[in-house]
């Protein structure tokens, strides 16, 4: 028979342990007495949990502290390099893989300027793609002499809708792929896989590591080849009933406008994504650009075509943001993706357009920031997913 009392005790024990790990992770080192005082539990509870954590190798003893009389208290120190996590971002033009420690420091990084996934059309191609990823993951561990047993798992950021329970990428319009089973990679690497939409992952990273550390309600706007948004409500990631909330990139901005890869016309991402910006320049100019750094170089040099395209681009970006603010009224809007590297060119100009002729809200009501983690938001966010179970009390998803 299920013993409810013991289940409750297990939950409380687990919660105490997580609180202790979180405290030590943020403070670095503390005595057992300080831990007990800080989280309001008894010394014996702290001692039994610390003993477990010592055995697991997540903390170590680090000498003794000052005593106000009696035995000197033992200092316990958090070991950030006791466990690791992989983050993988699969984009239209590149694959990025990072290995981080428990302090979210990047230990090793590999970037491939290729898009192998959207080229993978057959089952054999997909198998080969996962073989390649698996080899890179193993090589990264080997080069840092990290054992598989100390790796918590692999988080993967994807530009599309995902089913994280079934480990399936359901649809990524910009990669033109559907129903990719990441369970295959889990088998090949013998590691747990965590999938997340890239904008949701980025919102999570900003919340835990970035500009939004003390924020409750925010919308993260990911501007890459396409556009996605991650919504945080009262510290929870809002995903909705079908886990597809935040597809603002496909809200209609222009009736009967440009054709989108999703099949509709006039979607926001056809006007305000990185690709839209490049396409606008390339159709209006004799020379052709392949990336946005070339665009911003020309813009800063005072190129007239770039100036007018940039102004129109910001108009469209602002219209979408105004709509999002009217729907959600968040504390903060965070602009992310490669474009956020050009913060000084975007933020002030964008604010002016968002708040002009606007009787509903002004700059005093909503803050607009560039992402602190820049193009690393999504990948840092997914690298946190394997650590969730170790650190956070719950997954915090609505
Ligand atoms: Zn669309």
Position 47 scores a pLDDT of 93
Ligand 1 centroid – CA 325 distance (Å): 20
**What is the whole-number distance in angstroms between the Cα of residue 254 and the centre of ligand 1?**
11
- Distance between alpha carbon 17 and the CA centroid of its chain, in Å? 25
- Between the CA of 374 and the centroid of ligand 1 the distance, in Å, is 24
Our CA dihedral for 240, 385, 118, 283, rounded to 10 degrees, sits at: 70
CA 266 – ligand 1 centroid, Å: 7
> What is the distance in A from the centroid of ligand 1 to the CA of 102?
37
The pocket of ion ligand 1, defined by CB under 5 A, consists of: 250, 260, 262, 264, 267
Whole-number Å distance, alpha carbon 184 to ligand 1 midpoint, is 29
Q: What's the CA-to-centroid distance between 324 and ligand 1, angstroms?
A: 16
Residue 353 Cα to ligand 1 middle (Å): 23
Determine the pLDDT at residue 119. 73
Given this model, what pLDDT does residue 64 score? 81
Provide the pLDDT for residue 113.
78
Report the chain's C-alpha Rg in angstroms.
23
State in Å: Cα 45 to ligand 1 middle.
Answer: 54
* Distance from Cα 98 to the centre of ligand 1, integer Å: 30
- Please give the distance, rounded to the nearest whole angstrom, from the Cα atom of residue 282 to the centre of ligand 1: 21
Give the largest CA-CA distance in the chain: 81
pLDDT score for 365:
86
The pLDDT value given to residue 92 = 74
Q: What is the rounded distance in angstroms from the CA atom of residue 341 to the CA atom of residue 375?
A: 8
- Calculate how far, in angstroms, residue 246's C-alpha sits from the geometric centre of ligand 1: 13
C-alpha 259 to ligand 1 mean position (Å): 8
| pLDDT tens for the 398 residues of the chain, in order | 555 556 677 777 778 888 899 899 889 999 999 999 999 999 999 999 999 999 999 999 988 877 766 778 889 999 999 999 999 999 877 899 999 999 999 999 999 877 667 777 788 888 999 999 999 999 999 999 999 999 999 999 998 889 988 999 998 887 888 899 999 999 999 999 999 999 999 998 988 887 666 667 899 999 988 899 999 988 888 988 887 888 999 999 999 999 998 899 999 999 999 999 999 999 999 999 988 999 999 999 999 999 999 999 999 999 999 999 999 999 999 999 889 999 999 999 999 999 987 778 888 888 999 998 888 999 999 999 999 877 765 566 67
Q: How far is the CA of 268 from the centre of ligand 1 (A)?
A: 7
In angstroms, what CA-CA distances link 302 with 57, 141, 307? 57, 46, 7
Find the 250 Cα to ligand 1 centroid distance in Å.
4
- Give pLDDT, residue 372: 86
CA atoms within 13 A on the CB side of 97: 17
Residue 198 Cα, ligand 1 centroid: separation in angstroms?
17
Q: What's the 261 CA to ligand 1 centre distance in angstroms?
A: 6
Q: Is 30 exposed, middle or buried (0-12, 13-18, 19+ CB in 10 A)?
A: buried
């Amino acid at each position: 028979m299920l013993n409810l009392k013991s289940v409750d005790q297990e939950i409380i024990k687990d919660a105490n342990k997580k609180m202790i790990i979180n405290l030590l992770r943020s403070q670095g080192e503390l005595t057992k007495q300080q831990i007990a005082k800080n989280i309001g539990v008894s010394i014996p509870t702290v001692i039994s949990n610390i003993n477990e954590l010592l055995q697991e190798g997540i903390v170590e003893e680090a000498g003794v502290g000052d005593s106000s009389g009696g035995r000197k208290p033992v200092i316990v120190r958090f070991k950030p390099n006791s466990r690791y996590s992989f983050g993988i971002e699969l984009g239209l033009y590149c694959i990025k893989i990072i290995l981080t420690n428990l302090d979210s420091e990047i230990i090793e990084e590999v970037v491939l300027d290729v898009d192998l996934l959207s080229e993978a059309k057959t089952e054999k191609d997909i198998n080969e793609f996962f073989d390649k990823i698996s080899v890179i993951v193993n090589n990264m561990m080997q080069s840092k002499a990290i054992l598989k047993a100390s790796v918590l798992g692999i988080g993967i950021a994807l530009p599309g809708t995902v089913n994280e329970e079934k480990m399936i990428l359901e649809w990524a319009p910009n990669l033109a792929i559907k129903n990719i089973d990441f369970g295959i990679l889990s088998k090949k690497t013998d590691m747990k896989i965590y999938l997340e939409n890239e904008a949701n992952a980025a919102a999570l990273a900003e919340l835990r590591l970035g500009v939004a550390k003390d924020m409750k309600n925010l919308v993260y706007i990911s501007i890459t080849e396409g556009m996605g948004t991650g919504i945080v409500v009262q510290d929870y990631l809002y995903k909705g009933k079908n886990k597809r909330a935040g597809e603002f990139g496909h809200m209609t901005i222009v009736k009967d406008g440009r054709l989108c890869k999703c099949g509709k016309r006039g979607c926001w991402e056809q006007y305000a994504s990185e690709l839209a910006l490049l396409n606008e320049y390339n159709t209006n100019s004799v020379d052709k650009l392949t990336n946005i750094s070339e665009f911003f170089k020309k813009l800063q040099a005072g190129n007239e075509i770039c100036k007018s395209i940039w102004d129109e681009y910001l108009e469209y970006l602002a219209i979408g943001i105004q709509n999002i603010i009217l729907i959600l009224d968040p504390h903060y809007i965070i602009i992310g993706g490669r474009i956020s590297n050009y913060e000084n060119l975007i933020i002030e100009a964008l604010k002016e357009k968002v708040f002009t002729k606007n009787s509903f809200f002004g700059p005093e009501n909503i803050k607009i920031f560039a992402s602190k983690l820049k193009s690393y938001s999504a990948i840092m966010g997914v690298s946190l997913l394997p650590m969730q179970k170790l650190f956070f009390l719950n997954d915090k998803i609505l």
